Amino acid sequence: MLEVEVAGIKMKNPLMLASGILDLTKESMEKFGDAGAVVTKSVGMEERKGYKNPVFCEVEYGILNAIGLANPGIDEYLKEIDGIKVENLIGSIFGKDENEFGHLARKFAPYVKAIEMNMSCPHAKKVGAEYPTEEIKGAVESAKKAGKPVFVKLGMENILERAENAIEGGADAIVAINSVKAMAINVEVAMPVLGNKIGGYSGRAIKPIGVRCVYELASNFDLPIIGVGGISKAEDVIEYMMAGAKAVQIGTAVCYEGEKIFGKICHDLEIWLDKHGYTNINDVVGIALKK
């Protein structure tokens, strides 16, 4: 009832752990056995310390963070995930140019089912949402040479043009969206809360933005879309899939409910589908596009 397939990858359900959530160590990722797939922490060429504290704070309806793509670098990270017991592991990478993306994809390829290119971190400048649109095609082409399906993760900004460039480069799926560029100010001390001042806003409040982006992508392009942003219950998954998503990723909600959220949502999805007369979750994909 819940099985889906994205770019040739068969998943027992459409739920994926989003990049950046409890996915830095082998042990933490192996806890998500109820997920259809797990996306790793975004990894770059070399160790990256990230931004100074504070890097995380809870705000109304969600979380604000500016971790700064902190990671140990590809070589050290591969040592960490060697032998990992995750059925569908997706390797997330970021880079400053097509050569870095190609190198990282080749390094990751023996360990993962697919590559996710992070081109949308809202506070990482050129290695994030500011990655030049005109260079996306070449970067995707370079990553594709590793021989694995390539997912391109995009933010809400200029998403159709950036998706078009990714698809021209051979992208096998588009992931949308990332956290939304935002900030908070502590009025008692009159200064920004985050050490980096600007961060990314995630959680329930951004779901309508994510749904809109998925709907527009599915309306314009014929390839799998993976929806991300504000998912915390079965109805959120259905909404994204009705907008055209083939699968979804869950991130911020894990901070509140832990790994058990995947099993809970899968259980509730089966109840919802049965109640509404569906025998397969794929039957709801894109139905809102037809009305």
Q: Which structure tokens are listed for 103?
A: 């190198």
pLDDT at 115: 98
pLDDT at 124: 84
Q: Could you read off the pLDDT of 227-283 as tens digits, one per residue?
A: 999 999 999 999 999 999 999 999 999 999 999 999 999 999 999 999 999 999 999
Residue pair 133/165 in contact by the 8 Å Cβ criterion: yes
Residue 6: left (phi > 0), alpha (psi -120 to 50), or beta?
Answer: beta
Q: Could you read off the pLDDT of 184-212 as tens digits, one per residue?
A: 999 999 999 999 999 999 999 999 999 99
pLDDT at 232: 97
Peptide bond before 209: cis, by omega within 30 degrees of 0? no
Beta strands in 71-113 (DSSP E): 89-93
CA separation for the pair 151, 63 (Å, rounded): 25
Q: Which structure tokens are listed for 158?
A: 């200029």
What are the residue numbers of the active site? 121
Q: Which domains does the chain have, with CATH numbers?
A: 4-48+67-181+206-290 (3.20.20.70)
Hey, how many other C-beta atoms are within 10 angstroms of the C-beta on 30?
13
Residue pair 51/67 in contact by the 8 Å Cβ criterion: yes
Strands 247-250, 225-228: pairing is parallel
Euclidean distance between the first and final Cα of the chain, in Å? 24
Q: Could you read off the pLDDT of 145-183 as tens digits, one per residue?
A: 999 999 999 999 999 999 999 999 999 999 999 999 999
Cβ-in-10-Å burial (0-12, 13-18, 19+) of 64 comes to buried
DSSP 43: B
Beta strands in 104-245 (DSSP E): 114-118, 150-154, 173-176, 180-182, 185-186, 191-192, 199-202, 225-228
Main-chain phi, psi angles of 93, to 5 degrees:
-135, 155
Could you tell me the pTM of the whole model? Answer: 0.96
CA separation for the pair 226, 2 (Å, rounded): 15
CA separation for the pair 127, 232 (Å, rounded): 28
Q: Which structure tokens are listed for 173?
A: 């799926």
CA separation for the pair 249, 111 (Å, rounded): 20
Contacts of 104 (CB under 8 A, 6+ apart): 43, 44, 45, 74, 93, 95, 143
